[in-house]
Amino acid sequence: MLMALIAFAVAAAPAAPMGIWEGTVGDLPVRACFAQRELGSFGSYYYLSRLRLIALEAEEGTRGGFREIDARDSNAPRWLIEGADAGRLTARWTHRGRSLPVRLRRIAAATAGQDQCGSMAYHRPRLAGVRTVSTRASVDGVAYTRIALEHGGRFDASLQTFALEGASPAAARINAILSRDLRGDPPEWFDCMRAPLEQGPNEGSFHDSLEPAMISRRWMSVIDRFDGYCGGTHPDEARTYRTFDLAGGREVDPYDWLNPTAVERQGPAGTQEEIKTLRPALRDSILAGWHAAVAECDEVLRTQEFWNIGLIRGALIFSPDLPHVAQACGEEFTMPFARLRPFLTEAGAAELLALAAEGRRR
């Protein structure tokens, strides 16, 4: 008798609906996905008319119950899985006294070692019609094209970059770098957003803005502001400067204009494995006369070895590269070329003095 009851309970319980599904909630077409991880089950779905992801988390104490994650609504809609087999899934969507049938057919089964809920098989319809919008702009008398991502509100994402005018090979190489997050299948900005779906129901966020801060005859300085979440413990937030050689069409590192008094180098020179940090002599010069508004920030900045360096006319800008817990201590410090001279290589001094003497480009 006991064995019969156990067998009946197992037969009556809904099968795990892992994989990708398509069908309707009520009469509205949707695509859904469910996954199982060590911490439990989760899922998500989106209406094909809206294409905005809705996260689903398993309800504790229920079998087959999932609740939509919505911080704005403590009584969020819920799904109750009624049955699932190799090809079909039925459920009930309920919210504030309203109830709708959910009828889905499987379009991709869960496969060991694969992340179906982050796959393009699941998300491909959401990228249909995503485009860019271009507008004209200028800085330092130089015209360029501002490029912005347009997705109609489907994602917690924004991306603005720009392109230089002209058909020179150097401009083409720089434009390829500036448009990197827009390229690929899927594009890199969306790769960031879907990465968190490997471990949970919520997709990430991506907000990146690149704009020119200065354009001279030889150099272009770009401000890159990023705020987003691509997985991990914390979101990322950063404001960094990037420097481009307009003659060679490449991104350069202002660290290379600094001599060994200023910079310590470790690892293979000229490779991505090379680590460059500021020595105490330059850090002390940068922070000379500075007093922290918050006492805890004083030691953080005075001992920080990793800094971002930006280029503007007549100066370099230094900003500490801080861990997430110390980002409130972030500041920018402008250091004129005259004060930098003891820390510059001969080649670096020549380049920066030429820039200072150039004046504004017309």
Task: Provide the CATH number for the domain formed by 13-119 in this structure.
Answer: 2.40.128.20
Q: What is the pLDDT of residues 41-87, one digit of tens each?
A: 899 999 999 999 999 999 988 888 999 987 556 689 999 999 999 89
Q: Report H helices in the chain.
A: 2-12, 120-123, 169-178, 188-194, 280-286, 295-303, 337-340, 346-358
**For residue 218, which amino acid is it?**
R
- Residue 314 structure tokens: 């007549």
- Could you tell me if 160 and 178 are in contact, meaning their C-beta atoms sit under 8 angstroms apart? no
pTM, whole model, 2 decimals?
0.89
Q: What is the pLDDT of residues 159-213, one digit of tens each?
A: 999 999 988 999 999 999 999 999 999 999 999 999 999 889 999 999 999 999 9
pLDDT exceeds cutoff 70 at 10: no
DSSP codes, 299-337 = HHHHH---EEEEEETTEEEEEE---GGGGGG---EEEEH
Q: Class for domain 129-252, per CATH?
A: alpha beta
- Could you tell me if 252 and 235 are in contact, meaning their C-beta atoms sit under 8 angstroms apart? no
- Residue 167 structure tokens: 């058909």
Between 6-20, 158-172, 336-350, the lowest mean confidence (pLDDT) is in 6-20
Please report, for the chain, the start and end positions of each structural domain, with discontinuous segments joined by +.
13-119, 129-252, 257-362
pLDDT exceeds cutoff 90 at 260: yes
Q: Matching CATH topology for 13-119 and 129-252?
A: no
d(CA 208, CA 147): 12
Query: What is the pLDDT confidence band of residue 38, given thresholds at 50, 70 and 90?
Result: confident
Mean of the per-residue pLDDT values for the chain?
90
- In this predicted structure, what is the pLDDT of residue 13? 42
Between 73-82, 108-117, 297-306, 331-340, the lowest mean confidence (pLDDT) is in 108-117
| Spatial CA neighbour of 123 closest among 157, 80, 88, 79 | 157
